[in-house]
Amino acid sequence: MQIIIDKGIPFLQGVFPSEIEVKFLPPEEITADSVRKADALFVRTRTQINKELLHGSQVRFVATATIGFDHIDQDYCREAGIHWVSCPGCNAQAVCDYIEEAIASFNSSPSRGRSGEGFTIGIVGYGHVGKLVAQMAERKGYKVLLSDPPLGIGMSLNELAPLCDVLTFHTPLTHEGEHPTYHLCNADILRLCKPNALIINAARGGIIDEQALLPCLITSSPHRLIASIDCWENEPLLNQALLEKVDLASFHIAGYSIEGKMRASEMCLQAFCEFFSLPILSINKKLVPLQGDSAPGWLQRISNQLKAAPEHFEQLRKQYKLR
């Protein structure tokens, strides 16, 4: 049996028995040629799981060490008999910590005139992350409003937007169905928001219509909004004009923490063992990486890095030390 693993997925070195051939590759080297003889893939969002990659291969199992799975062509995998799994909730606490830091920065800036007291946070999507964000906000004394129509929870986004000082999105990216989330936050929604409200996207690029958001961030706008963006449309090719105007920008690392990465690797490994009817293997916890910057203000420091060198988006992401 052969497994190909994105080398950015930690804690899996030295885990597999000797009869399993394991190749750790950077995502750009996970190609149709390199996976042709593989039985299983462990990937991240940078690898598109589709016919172009997998046709003619012997891959039967794909695990993505991420919450999101819009990089997986589910219809093709179903037709080809390829089983795939994601890791829902693996990095939920890390994303919640990101939201907390974004709000702290929002509150601490004198120019924004915020005390942090008595304001309302609107949470769009009440899954693993949304629930933790709600708990965090309630601990801090914020009023919490929810919107999750697929679950029948809370109010519509149209009703929610005008009531919130902070509007944060925690949904998957979907293009079809009764409640598609692509450009869920569009020009109509943005016009409904309170002036100087904080808009946060730490979910998936494409949930916010970036072209609609850009004019709302101009300082002279009578209806100016503030934005903290971690997930971008078309990343790593960022909208440069938007990057300049957002208050906080990061390189898709909201969910990057030691705990989150460890949990994702565990979930992928367990699913692999169950699919192939193997004894359950354990991740290599001896490989804990050096912990990164988590002191107050860490998100502002990351934002400064990205704004100074947006062309290094992928490099900054790869070199980011886990919180």
Instruction: Cite the active site residues.
Output: 204, 235, 252
Q: Which two tokens stand for residue 309?
A: 């060198």
- Environment class of residue 271 by beta-carbon count within 10 Å: exposed (0-12), middle (13-18) or buried (19+)? buried
Q: Which two tokens stand for residue 221?
A: 């706008």
Task: Identify residue 92 by its one-letter amino acid code.
Answer: A
Q: In Å, what is the CA distance from 21 to each residue of 15, 18, 55? A: 11, 7, 21
- Rama region for 173: left / alpha / beta (φ>0; ψ in -120 to 50; rest): beta
The Cβ of residue 266 has, within 10 Å, a number of other Cβ atoms equal to: 19
Number of H helices, E strands in the chain: 11, 12
Q: Which two tokens stand for residue 7?
A: 């080398």
Instruction: Provide the sign of the torsion angle of the four alpha carbons 262, 321, 138, 172, taken in this order.
Output: negative
Q: Cite the DSSP H helix spans in 4-156.
A: 51-54, 74-80, 92-108, 128-139
79 touches 182 (CB < 8 A): no
Angle, to 10 degrees, between the axis of helix 128-139 and the axis of helix 92-108?
40
Q: Note the Cα 275 to chain centre separation in Å.
A: 26
Task: Name the 3-class secondary structure at 176.
Answer: coil
Instruction: Tell me the Cα Rg of the chain.
Output: 20
The Cα–Cα gap between 320 and 323 comes to 9
